[in-house]
Amino acid sequence: MVGYIFKRVLQALPVFFGTTLLIYFMVFAMPGDPIVAMFGDRGVNQAVYEQLRAQYHLDQPFLVQYFYYITGIFQGDFGTSFSGQPVGDVLAATFPVTIRLALMAVTIEMLVGIGIGLFAGLRKGKLFDNSSLVMSLLLISTPVFVIAFVFQFVFAIKLGWAKPTVSGAAGFTELLLPAVVLSTLAVAYIVRLTRSSVIETSGQDFVRTAYGKGLTRQRVVRVHILRNSLIPVVTYLSIDFGVLLVGATVTEGIFNVPGVGRTLYQAIIRGEGPTVVSFVTVMVLIYLAVNLITDLLYAVLDPRIRYGK
Amino acid sequence: MANRNEHFVADLAASEVAEIDAVRISEKPTNLYLDAWRDLRKRPMFYIAGVLILAVTVMALFPGLFTQTLPNDNCLLANSNAGPTDGHPLGFTRQGCDIYSRIVHGSSTSLSVGLIVTAMTMAMGVFFGALAGFYGRWVDALLSRAGDIFFAIPYILAAVVIMSVFSDYRNVWVISAAIGIFAWPSTARVLRGEILRVKQADYVMASTAIGVSRFKILMRHVLPNSIAPVIAVTTISLAAAIVAEATLSFLGVGLPTSTMSWGNDISQAQVDLRTAPQVLIWPSLALSITALAFIMMGEAIRDALDPKARAQR
């Protein structure tokens, strides 16, 4: 167990350094001199220019700059946003909202996706199965911002069931519509994944044995089929977290949810390159952390991983 | 009665034995791709997707066949967000341009981004995936870790950063490269896994035994036998690339607004969602149907190329 955790964390390190190096390189390659930009229209004062360059380590070679940047990240310094606020502070203010939204979306994904997928898988080839497959194809091929606009228009503006935009408080009921939108993409995949997984599990010997023992259908489905079909779904949820983050950027932007995604969205819209990069870095780090934690959870849940290879 | 004494064992008809012994050999020559092709022709999904893809392709190549109205001519602000009129079946945009004509003329942008990204991810994915899977050892370790790094950055976020860096050079090629550079690892992973499986096959060992060079084995035997899942994944990723372009344009880091694209049209229509939803709905619908066509085609191909999935149906 300890060995596995150690190995997995060790594996995550090169990816961590690789991704940050890659993103940092892209910023490094960004055209334009940020120090000159700081002077604005006033013209460059050479002495101040040199001092600022030294202060931000811009006179150092690329790898040294990267080293300063990475030590900054370890000390919780993610850089400064365009308006002069430390990115760390902005994160502290906005992150809880995004977490709430993401958790709501994942809950909806799991409930709806697994429910429909299980139902469709148990009735393979029937009307419900076929129609749920068609629906999932439609959802997969529609970009999340289109879904967001359509839902906003239909449910908030036409029907008036929810408010079209979210207030600063971002309460539970307000977040419901954005969470549903955010969940739509993954729901389609979870339905299909659960369905094929249920079909495959239903054909296994242990399911026949369970029926042979005289267990009720309800118990076989709940304990034997469903539980064994959930493994790929959980894997998918952790891999899909990146898509969720991108979706959150778009959804939070459209519904004005005061989270990390909206901050990134507004920075992108306004063309604030450095802010965009710091937030993308943070999101990638969150994504890596989530994947690492899921893998470690597997070790807890699955004895084969704990002891074997 | 007399007959009964002549036969001490059950009568074995000669023809039956021959039938049991005969190895069933199909008359038609067959291989994986021919089988898949025969299977595809039986599926309605393949035809629906095929017709849609054909329609979009013709639309992109010859927009004049579909509309006589030029997209940016005769844009009258008097028509701003107006509904359909004679000769303008879908109405007008905020700038008073014909929506239908803009959709027809915008199709080439979406399609070319999709095709360029697909060509890029296919080339990079096959190259790196084949090297990693076939040569193994340190090549595999190096390429797989590199792939992990690119895989760890969600490709739309990466494209946002790249497009911010290249904010002065936004065109179809740059946006395709921005999407493609981070999308290849999934293709490489699929191919690598498949090659690891195919590498164990007897014909590979036989080729090694008769002294065929490693590179020739890879090109002649391993790659053709492991490319099938890549084809399916690639078709589906074409749809993902089209959606990614629209998402980037929607975020304002895609193509410049002077370039006609569905993503740009959707992005510009969002301010008028409350008063004129149709301006947003039509290009969105065009985008979704195109993406849907490629996803359906990819799924049909995947099912057809996978004998296990064929048997399950």
Given a cut of 50, is residue A309 above it in pLDDT? Answer: no
Q: Which CATH superfamily is domain A88-301 in?
A: MetI-like (1.10.3720.10)
- Kindly state the percentage of chain A with pLDDT values over 70: 86
Distance CA A210, CA B198 (A): 36
Nearest one of A104, A100, A109, A135 to A236, comparing CA atoms: A109
Q: Which ranges in chain A are annotated with CATH 1.10.3720.10?
A: 88-301
Distance CA B157, CA B178 (A): 10
* Ramachandran category for residue B224: left, alpha or beta (phi over 0 → left; psi -120 to 50 → alpha): alpha
Model pLDDT, residue A139: 84
Model pLDDT, residue B249: 86
Query: What is the crossing angle of helices B228-251 and A144-151, to 10°?
Result: 50
Helices marked H in chain A — which ranges?
A: 2-28, 34-39, 46-55, 62-74, 87-108, 115-122, 127-141, 144-151, 172-202, 205-212, 217-219, 227-239, 241-255, 260-269, 273-301, 303-307
DSSP character for A166?
-
**Domain parsing of chain B, residue ranges:** 33-71+88-305
Cβ–Cβ gap A137/B277 under 8 Å: no
Mutation pick from B46, B53, B157 vs chain A, by most beta carbons of A within 10 Å, is B157
Q: How far apart are the first and last CA of chain A?
A: 11
Q: Please compute the mean of the pLDDT values over residues B116-137 and round it to a whole number.
A: 88
More confident residue, B218 or B5: B218
Q: Please compute the mean of the pLDDT values over residues A290-305 and round it to a whole number.
A: 73
Cβ–Cβ gap B162/A26 under 8 Å: yes
Given a cut of 60, is residue A308 above it in pLDDT? Answer: no
Closest to B239 (Cβ–Cβ): which among A14, A141, A150? A141
Q: Please compute the mean of the pLDDT values over residues B194-208 and round it to a whole number.
A: 85
Closest to A140 (Cβ–Cβ): which among B168, B273, B295? B295
Distances (CA, A) of A12 to A6, A7, A16, A293, B58: 10, 9, 6, 11, 47
* A146 touches B at CB < 8 Å: yes
Full-model pTM: 0.79
The highest-confidence range among A297-306, B19-28, B201-210, by mean pLDDT, is: B201-210
Q: What torsion do the CA atoms of A141, A147, A153, A158 make, to the nearest 10 degrees?
A: 80
Nearest one of B230, B241, B231, B239 to B294, comparing CA atoms: B239
Nearest one of B252, B228, B243 to B305, comparing CA atoms: B228
> Looking at this protein, which amino acid is placed at residue B237?
S
More confident residue, A176 or B6: A176
Q: Please compute the mean of the pLDDT values over residues B125-137 and round it to a whole number.
A: 86
Model pLDDT, residue B117: 92
> Chain B residues within 8 A (CB-CB) of chain A?
145-146, 148-150, 152-154, 156-158, 160-162, 164-165, 167-168, 239, 243, 246-247, 250-253, 266, 270, 273-274, 277, 280-281, 284, 287-289, 291-292, 295-296, 299, 312
Given a cut of 90, is residue A234 above it in pLDDT? Answer: no
Q: How far is B165 from chain A (nearest CA, A)?
A: 5
For B65-74, what is each residue's pLDDT tens digit? 777 767 666 6
Architecture of domain B33-71+88-305: Orthogonal Bundle (1.10)
Burial status of residue B28 (CB atoms within 10 A of its CB: 0-12, 13-18, 19 or more): exposed
Burial status of residue B87 (CB atoms within 10 A of its CB: 0-12, 13-18, 19 or more): exposed
Nearest one of A139, A73, A151 to B273, comparing CA atoms: A151
Q: Please compute the mean of the pLDDT values over residues A140-155 and round it to a whole number.
A: 84
Closest to A15 (Cβ–Cβ): which among B149, B266, B277? B149
More confident residue, B299 or B27: B299
Q: Please compute the mean of the pLDDT values over residues B50-74 and round it to a whole number.
A: 80
Given a cut of 90, is residue B116 above it in pLDDT? Answer: yes
Cβ–Cβ gap B164/A30 under 8 Å: yes
Q: Give the model's confidence band at B79: pLDDT under 50 very low, under 70 low, under 90 confident, else very high.
A: low
Distance CA A305, CA B15 (A): 56
Q: Please compute the mean of the pLDDT values over residues B95-114 and round it to a whole number.
A: 82
Cβ–Cβ gap A145/B247 under 8 Å: yes
Distance CA B157, CA A282 (A): 11
Q: How far is A176 from chain B (nearest CA, A)?
A: 21
Q: How far is A221 from chain B (nearest CA, A)?
A: 21
